[in-house]
């Protein structure tokens, strides 16, 4: 089994309680790859496709991926650019706020080389892409990536897509909506968040989002809806699962990404969608109880085991 996650990993500076800043690495697609690597069997391969610089900080990030068991063969090097950077603050309720410096990130050119992109996709069983990945790419590279992913019935791998809508990253709302709808029509597994979908498409409920994406022909959809039950649909079957209780919200960063990774790991391991949602809810609950987006692998496995 081989999984490929495509996106941007950035330098993260998180404000600590003592006023100092703690440096790490994170990003939505990397957070998904991290959970997949922790929860899939050791013999499964989890690779990451991105582009970084040739500086020491880029070297540290690549070393971190390799140490976690995430494949780095498709991490390209850019001599003229480096990593994007963001700062994160959390309030007393665990909600976070961000500031970004990523306009010249090397990852914005991760789809510039068609041959490298094709080589990364070759032999994959599942590919994960997010709306953030699509949003940061120049228009021509975005088109190249969508073309490389190809139609649902004409490729060897399954495509999992989280729209992860961040309006400020897109040229305009119309481009965002059009591109997200197009990518969703390619996907085998869709993992939207209701609040994002309501803002971008006007869906009043998670059920409306589920129905709208069914209209795109998506075989499998899971709608994350905050504290409300998570809705899922697989073909004609559908169901819902209450959100796992959280003892104390410390930091909500990366919870949705961990949910995505845990859900996909469970489905790849043979779980049905209802059981996979339940497992993913447990993992997401554990993430929000801990500071930072990346939990140690053992903690993720303990949460998944319930």
Q: Which two tokens stand for residue 283?
A: 């993992």
Given a contact cutoff of 8 angstroms between Cβ atoms, the answer to whether 51 and 109 are in contact is: yes
- Give the CA distances from residue 211 to residues 81, 123, 215, 220, 238, in Å, rounded to whole numbers and listed in that order: 42, 32, 6, 11, 11
Q: Is 257 a catalytic residue?
A: yes
* Closest residue by Cα to residue 186 from 138, 128, 231: 128
Partners of 221 in the β-ladder: 190, 233
Q: Is 271 exposed, middle or buried (0-12, 13-18, 19+ CB in 10 A)?
A: middle
d(CA 184, CA 213): 7
First to last CA, the chain: 25
d(CA 99, CA 71): 29
Given a contact cutoff of 8 angstroms between Cβ atoms, the answer to whether 71 and 40 are in contact is: no
DSSP E strands, the chain: 2-6, 10-15, 21-26, 45-52, 75-77, 85-90, 96-101, 126-130, 158-162, 189-190, 220-223, 230-234, 237-241
The residue annotated as part of the active site, out of 28, 196, 203, 257, is: 257
Local structure of 19: helix, strand or coil: coil
Catalytic residues: 257
């Amino acid at each position: 089994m081989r999984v490929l996650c495509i996106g941007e990993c950035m330098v993260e500076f998180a404000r600590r309680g003592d006023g100092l800043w703690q440096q790490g690495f994170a990003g939505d697609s990397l957070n998904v790859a991290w959970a997949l690597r922790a929860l899939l069997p050791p013999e499964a391969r989890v690779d990451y496709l991105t582009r970084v610089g040739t500086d020491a900080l880029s070297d540290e990030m690549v070393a971190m991926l390799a140490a976690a068991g995430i494949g780095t063969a498709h991490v390209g090097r850019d001599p003229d650019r480096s990593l994007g950077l963001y700062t994160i603050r959390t309030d007393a309720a665990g909600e976070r706020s961000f500031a970004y410096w990523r306009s010249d990130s090397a990852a914005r050119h991760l789809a510039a080389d068609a041959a490298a992109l094709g080589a990364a996709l070759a032999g994959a069983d599942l590919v994960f892409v997010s709306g953030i990945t699509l949003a940061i790419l120049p228009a021509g590279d975005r088109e190249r990536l969508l073309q490389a992913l190809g139609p649902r019935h004409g490729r060897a791998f399954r495509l999992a897509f989280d729209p992860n809508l961040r309006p400020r990253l897109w040229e305009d709302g119309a481009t965002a909506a059009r591109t997200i709808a197009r990518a969703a029509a390619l996907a085998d597994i869709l993992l939207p968040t209701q609040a994002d979908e309501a803002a971008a498409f006007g869906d009043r409920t998670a059920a409306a989002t589920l129905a709208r994406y069914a209209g795109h022909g998506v075989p499998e959809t899971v709608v994350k809806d905050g504290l409300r039950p998570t809705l899922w649909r697989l073909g004609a079957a559908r169901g819902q699962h209450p959100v796992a209780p959280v003892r104390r919200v410390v930091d909500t960063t990366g919870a949705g990404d961990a949910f995505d990774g845990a859900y996909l790991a469970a489905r790849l391991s043979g779980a049905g969608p209802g059981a996979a949602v339940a497992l993913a809810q447990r993992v997401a609950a554990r993430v929000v109880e801990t500071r930072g987006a990346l939990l140690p692998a053992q903690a993720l496995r303990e949460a998944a085991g319930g």
